Amino acid sequence: MTGFVSFVGAGPGDPELLTLKAVNRLKRADAVLFDDLSSGPILAHARAGADLVGVGKRAGRASPKQDHVSRLLLEYAQIDQRVVRLKSGDGGLFGRLEEELVALRAAGIPYEIIPGVPSAIAAAAAAGIPLTRRLTARRVQFVTGHDISGQLPEDLNLPALTDATATTVVFMGKRTFPKLYALLNAHGLPADTPALLAEDVSGPEQRLTRTSVAALAEKLTGEIADTPALILYGPLALF
């Protein structure tokens, strides 16, 4: 068997943020299995004639089951195809990468992992701010805003998430942030803690909202657009 899978981090969506290795693998692939947020102009780098298969999962939408995605990877690789599994941002950050790796290892299929620009890094760059600051933000932490059921996880480390010297990035947290903020505030996070809502980072509808955690929670209590977003809060330099 000569099949091979390349897990490629597509970055936040801007094709200019792809790595050279990512572009190389796209040009050589026989099949590309892509997430919703890694489609669009990025797929223009795929080889002509390659199978392009959308397997993205989005909250609130009908999506392929994870075992179906893993099965597709196996089926392509087992007929000696070069496969690119294109994941938005970096596949190792809330990208269900491990489940697909386990399936490949069990089947004895070789693979590689090509990192991508994490959306959190791209969001900070778009806002023109650092994620760390000397003396006041010595630590960065990433957390998901929902569990497998779409609800706020019940096992959050609230002391860590209220650390005044940490920058916190919440992935997939727009719908659950009001509840999260209530917990954080009850555990000592000041209402005026700086916050940044970064929507459609690097995309055509990018929007950056500089605010506070309390104001953001109030904003997100109402109707919420389906635009993908990140929430950053902590000792941010929101100029």
Side-chain-facing half-sphere of 132: CA atoms under 13 Å: 6
Cβ contact 164:236 at 8 Å? no
- Mention every residue, 6+ apart, whose C-beta is less than 8 A from residue 169: 120, 123, 131, 140, 141, 142, 143, 230, 231, 232
> How far is it, in rounded angstroms, from Cα 198 to Cα 206?
7
- From 92, 116, 94, 111, select the one nearest 11 (Cα to Cα): 116
Residue 35 is among the residues annotated as catalytic for this protein: yes
In the set 57, 179, 200, 219, the catalytic residue is 57
- Mention every residue, 6+ apart, whose C-beta is less than 8 A from residue 233: 167, 168, 170, 193, 194, 195, 196, 213, 216
What is the b/e burial string over 120-144, where b = at least 16 CB atoms within 10 angstroms of the residue's CB? bbbbbbbbebebeeeeebeebeebe
In the set 35, 87, 90, 163, the catalytic residue is 35
Q: Output DSSP code: residue 233.
A: E
Residue 14 is among the residues annotated as catalytic for this protein: no
For residue 154, give both structure tokens.
Answer: 């019940």
* Catalytic residue annotation: 35, 57
